[in-house]
Structure formats: C-alpha cells, structure tokens
Structure 1
C-alpha cells in the first residue's frame, strides 16, 4: 500500500511540476508534506536521510557570493564586454556562451558555473532584445556535458568518486572527457541547426551597444576587490579541494560567510538574503523529499536491482542497461538522489562475479550527467537556471524544454552506448 501511495503522490506532483500551473516549489513541498502526513516516512527521515543539505548549502553559499559580487557591477561589466567582442551577433554569442559554460562546468562544477554565468547572459539578451530561451537551453546542455568530463564537474561524479577510491580526478578526465568533447561538438551542430534561422534574422542595436562604456557599470569600491578576491579564493578552493581534504560545501560556505563579514558595513545582510533564490532552494528540498518517498518504500532500489535480473548477470548488457536506465531516470528525477540509490547496487555487482566494475561506473556517470538534459528537474544546474530565469521574468516552460531535451538525451545515449561498447565492452561480450 505504501508503495502505491508514494508512487501516486510522486506522479501527481510531477504532473503539476510539468504543467507549470502552480509554483514548482509549492508543488514539490506539498508532495513531500503528503508523504509525511500519510506516514510514508518521518520528519527525522526527511531531514536526516533524504534532503541533501550539502547541495542546499552549496547553492545557498554561491547565491550569497554572487549576489554580493553583482552589487559591484562586475557581471554587468563582463556582459557588456562580452557582447561587444562579438558585436552583438546572436549566433557567435550563443556559441561563445556554450564554450564558456562547458569549460567552467568542467573546471569548477556546473551548478557554480550557471550561478555565475546565467545572470550575465540574461543581462546580455535583455540588452540586445534577444530571446533568452535558446541561450538558456544551450547553457543547460553545455553545463551538463562539461560537468560530465571531470570528477568535480557534476554532483553524481563527485558521489561516484567518493564511493570508489581508485577513481581519481585524472581517471575521470581520461575516461569521460573524450566523450564529453564529442558530445559538445554534436550539441553545437544541433543547436546551430535548431536556431540558426531564428537568430540570424534578428537585428541587434550594435551601434548603441558599442557606444556603451562598460567601465561606467563597474563600481570600483573596496567591496569590488573584496568580492573578486573571495570569489577567486573560493574557486581555487574548489579546484584544490581534494588536496585540501575539505568538502566543497565547506569551502563555499566559508567563502560566503567571509564575504558577508568583509562587506557588512557596505551592504546590509538583509539585502543579500533578499537576493537569494529561495524558490529554487525550496524546490530542491521538496524534490529531495519526493524522491526520498520512493527510496523509503523501495521503488528506486527495486528498479536498480531489476537491472541485474533482466540481464542475467551478463557484463556488457548490464553496463549498457545501467547507462540507459540512468539516462532515462536522471531525466525524470534529479540525478543526485538517483545516483545515491544506484551506488550501493553497483557495489553489490561483485557478488555476481563482476570483478572489473569500472565500465559500469563510467556508464552510471555518463547516464546520470547526460540524462539530466532531458527535463528541467533532471540535474541541479537545470533547476538553478530555471530559478534564475524565473527571477528575471524569463520563465522556461517545462514542456517546451522537454521537446528539445528528450531527443537530445536519446541522441546522447546512442553515442554514449557506442563509446562504452567500443572502449570497454568488446573484450567482455558473452562473459558473465
């Protein structure tokens, strides 16, 4: 009975999230509250087991850092300079945005990258009177592809890296970066053909853009230098977190608190908190509670365990099925809780005689990261982009995003299957 009830609550909540008729945070929190009221789990289970507070704290910290830095005009300055470099041309602007996002998502993490870069792109598109949807869609795709390339790029990779000690930062680059590069090139071709006509025919006011003095938007005050210094220190901490033996959440939170202390006399704390995307944070909390209900009653675990039964323990079939199931389900539910449920299942595969699990780990990582492009709730970065866009009255329709995201994920899974098969599985065909 609990299984049926939890599944119905999840599906109904997901339907209202898809239709966008009610605020997605309210829907997700309502679903989680119903799970509490029906006794699926307790409040202790929710707060101690299912809500990923590390993710919430990381997002909150980066929002604080960015909201303070934004007050200095730095992002406006970057936006104007960037637009001037490409002379306001829509297609070069779109390609440039994707390159910066992909690189940033690989070197930092995709959530941090979109938190920094999306406000810039929203300023540019608003200034040039360009439609924001093609740019936001491209940023989401680029962030998830770039994030798949490294251990720190996407939360699922971080979780897998923490669970499997021998999968180092270099291992992720060697095994996943080549496919990420291939997928990025494919994405550029797809985006170009999808939007080349609609963007090419748009006229932007280049003369007015080039006459703008970007320096006027930059407030050269002590707060500017403090913000840049702390932001760079935080980003450096992210890059070195494995050497520092410190969680990225701790680094981000330390940076946010430090910057608030340093700018306390120049900027009221209330003003900083008012800029935080609370709707996005509470949507994450609600989403974790909804998926937690499925985990509590065993739905996700049973789906994962069914993979082995359906393949009869065949090594190659199991790896490919992991890839596709991860890709499909990471588009439906956030890839973080899904990977959390899958990690112990993959670890149990050793009891079925599978000694070398690395190809299965890579399949899980690729499916989770690339599958997140299917819907607005498929990955953390997607939710953040949607929240930032909604905050600027540039709401991304759930269904419209799916019309682009689902076909692209199917293409990604086909290419990933070929890559995994040729690179890892040929020697194991027919083995169990």
Structure 2
C-alpha cells in the first residue's frame, strides 16, 4: 500500500511540476508532506537522510554572493562594454552574447546568468532594432551548455557534486570542459549560419549604443571592489578546495558571510536575503523529500535492478543508456527532479558489483544538462528566459523553440556518446581484457 501511495504522490506531483500551472516549489513540498502524513517516512528521515542540506546551503551562498555583486552594476557594465567593442554589429554581438552567457553560467550558474543578462540583451536589441529571438535562443543554449562545464554551473551538477565526494570542482572542468567547449563552438557556429540573413546592422541606431557610457552603470563604492574580490576568492576556493581540504559548501558559505560583513554598511543583510531565490531552494527541499519517499519504499532499488537487467550489468551499456535517457527525459521535463531521482539509482549500482561509477556520473551530468536545451521546460534557465521575454512582449513559441532545441540536443548527445565512449569506456574495456 505504501509503495503504491508513494508512486501516486510522486507521479501526480511530477505531472503538476511539468504542467507549470502551479508554483513548482509548492507542488514539490506538498508532495513531500503527503508522504510524511501517509507515514511513508518520518520527520527525522526527511531532515537527516533525504534533504541534502549541503546542496541547499551551497545554492543559498551563491545567491547571496551574486545578489550583492549585481547591486554594483558590474554585470551591466561588462555587457554594454562588450556590445560597444563590436560596435553593435549583429553577428559579433551574437558571439559576444554566447561567450558571456557560457562563461557566466560556468562561474556563477545558468539561472543567475540569464536573470542578469536577458534584461540587458532586450534593451540592446531594442536599441539596435535587431530581431530578439536569435539572441534569446543563443542565451538559452549557451547557458545550458556553459553550465555543464563546472560543478556550480547547473543545478544537476551541484547535486551530483554534493552526492559524490571525490568529484571536485576541478574534476568537472577537466572531465566535462573539453566536450563542452566543442559543443559550444559548434552550436554557436550553427546559430550564426541559421540567422545570418536576419541579423542585419542598421547604422543609424548604432550611434545611440556608442554614445552610452558603461561606467555610469558602475557604483564606484567600496562594495564594488569588495564584491569582485570576494567573488573571485570564492571561485579560486572552488578550484583549490581539493588541495586545501575544505569542501565546496564551506568555501561558498565563508565567501557569502565575508561579503555580508564587508558590505553591511552599504546594503542591509535583510534586503539581500529578500532577493534570494527562496522558491528554488524550497523546490529542492520538496524534491529531495519526494525522491526520499521512493527510496524508502524500495522503488529506487527496483529501478537500479531494472537498469542492471536491461544492460546486463555492463558498464559501457549502462553509461550510454544513462546518457541518452537523461538527455531525452531532460528535454521533456525539468532536469532537476530527474537528476534527484537518478542519483540514488546510480549509487545503488555499487551493490551490484560496479566499482567504477565515474563514467555513469559524467553521463548523467552531460545528458541532464545538455538535454535541457530540448524544450522550453527542459531546464530552469529556459523557463526564466521565456518569462522575461514574455514580460517584454517577445514571447517564445514552445514549438518554434523545440524545432531548434531538439536538433541541438541530438547533436550534443551524439558528440557526448563518442566522447564518453573513447575517453572512459575504451580504457575500461581495455583494462578488463
């Protein structure tokens, strides 16, 4: 009875999350509380076993850091300066937008990056009288691709990094960075080719852009220098955490606390906390509770056994199945709940004799992050961009986006298949001979 009830609650909650008719955090938390009320697990289980407080705290700390930094105007300064460097030329501007979004998504996280850049982008395209769709498409694709490269770039990677201790910030860059760079470059070239005829410069509007003074957006107070310094130190801490033996969450919390203390006179902590994306944090908590219910009644074990049966326990087969299943599913549903459900499944493989699970983790990260480009609901960044565009009277059609997104996902998965096979699976097959 408990198993049936857990499945019903999970599926119904998932359905409401996909439909996006209600606040997804509210849906996830309601599902988690229904499992509590039905006796599937107790409060102690939820708080000590299922909710990953490390992931929640890391996300919260990064939100605090970015919330304070964006008040300095440094992100607007960078965007306008780069647009002026290319003199408003449409195709170079597209390239700059792609690079800034990808780098920002890798170092900050993709949701934060699109929240910062899209309003500026809408202003620039309006000023230069350029079609906005190619640029919004570029932002979404590059945010998800760039976010794949680092542990903090995309929520699925944060969840994987917190679940597997030995996968460090550097591990993500060295293992996923090369393939991300290839997919990013190819996708950007394809976007330029597709939209080259519609991206035509109108010189009469360029003068307004060139007359803008980027430095006017900078608030040259001590907070500007403090924010840049602490954010840089935090990212450096991520890179060095494996050598100094301090975990990522501790690094992020120290950075957030230090910046709050340094800037307390310029911006009150209460105002910073008000700008934290609490909906996202509570959404994560609800998801962890939902997946915890499935784990408690044994569904996760069954899924692991089913996948082992399907792939006959063969590591190469399992790795490629995870890559494609996660990639295609993440195009249909938000990748966060999918990864939350898959992490315990992969962890369960160890009990079936799989010793080296790293190829499975990299396959899950690549599939979940890159698969998010498939549809407008495939990743949180997509939903955010669509909402901002609709508010600015530039709505993105679900079907039109999918016509561009699905080919990008299929190409990304094909390239990732070759990468995973030759980098991880061929050495494994050779060592097992």
8 Å contact kept, 2:291–2:340 = yes
2:122 to 117, 122, 125: 125
Unaligned runs of 5+ in 2: none
CA distance in 2, matches of 1:168, 1:262: 28
8 Å contact kept, 2:134–2:195 = yes
Instruction: Within 5 Å, give how 1:201-280 maps onto structure 2.
Output: 205-280=205-280
Residue matched to 2:343: 340
CA distance in 2, matches of 1:193, 1:11: 41
Question: Could you say if the C-alpha distance between residues 256 and 297 of structure 1 is closer, same or farther in structure 2, counting changes exceeding 3 Å?
Answer: same
1:309 CA displacement: 0.8
CA distance in 1, matches of 2:63, 2:152: 19
Cα offsets for 1:85-122 (capped at 9, x unmatched)? 2333444333222223334555x4x62x6525640342
Question: Could you say if the C-alpha distance between residues 141 and 388 of structure 1 is closer, same or farther in structure 2, counting changes exceeding 3 Å?
Answer: closer
8 Å contact kept, 2:6–2:297 = yes
CA distance in 2, matches of 1:282, 1:132: 33
2:112 to 112, 115, 130: 115
More off after superposition, 12-21 vs 254-263: 12-21
8 Å contact kept, 1:295–1:301 = yes
Calculate the aligned-residue CA RMSD, in Å. 3.8
Unaligned runs of 5+ in 1: none
Cα offsets for 1:361-386 (capped at 9, x unmatched)? 543443344334445676xxx42664
Cα offsets for 1:151-175 (capped at 9, x unmatched)? 6655666776787788777765565
Question: Could you say if the C-alpha distance between residues 13 and 222 of structure 1 is closer, same or farther in structure 2, counting changes exceeding 3 Å?
Answer: same
1:125 CA displacement: 1.9
8 Å contact kept, 2:40–2:296 = yes
Residue matched to 2:100: 100
Residue matched to 1:191: 191
CA distance in 2, matches of 1:8, 1:391: 34
CA distance in 2, matches of 1:3, 1:329: 23
CA distance in 1, matches of 2:92, 2:25: 35
What TM-score do the two structures reach when normalised by structure 1? 0.81
**What SS is found at the alignment partner of 2:88?**
coil
Residue matched to 1:309: 309
8 Å contact kept, 1:307–1:322 = no
Question: Could you say if the C-alpha distance between residues 359 and 391 of structure 1 is closer, same or farther in structure 2, counting changes exceeding 3 Å?
Answer: closer
More off after superposition, 161-170 vs 180-189: 161-170
Residue matched to 2:74: 74
How many positions carry a matched residue from both structures? 422
CA distance in 2, matches of 1:202, 1:24: 42
Question: Could you say if the C-alpha distance between residues 313 and 340 of structure 1 is closer, same or farther in structure 2, counting changes exceeding 3 Å?
Answer: closer
Question: Could you say if the C-alpha distance between residues 191 and 7 of structure 1 is closer, same or farther in structure 2, counting changes exceeding 3 Å?
Answer: farther
1:285 CA displacement: 2.6
1:330 CA displacement: 4.8
Instruction: Within 5 Å, give how 1:340-359 maps onto structure 2.
Output: 340-349=343-352, 351=353, 359=359
Cα offsets for 1:282-324 (capped at 9, x unmatched)? 2333333333333333334322321221122344433322322
Instruction: Within 5 Å, give how 1:106-185 maps onto structure 2.
Output: 106=106, 108=107, 111=109, 114-116=111-113, 118-129=115-126, 134-149=134-149, 175-185=175-185
**What SS is found at the alignment partner of 1:205?**
helix
1:15 aligns to 2:15 (yes or no): yes
CA distance in 2, matches of 1:51, 1:355: 26
Residue matched to 1:86: 86
Cα offsets for 1:9-61 (capped at 9, x unmatched)? 33333333333322233333333333333333333322222222222222222
1:258 CA displacement: 1.6
Residue matched to 2:40: 40
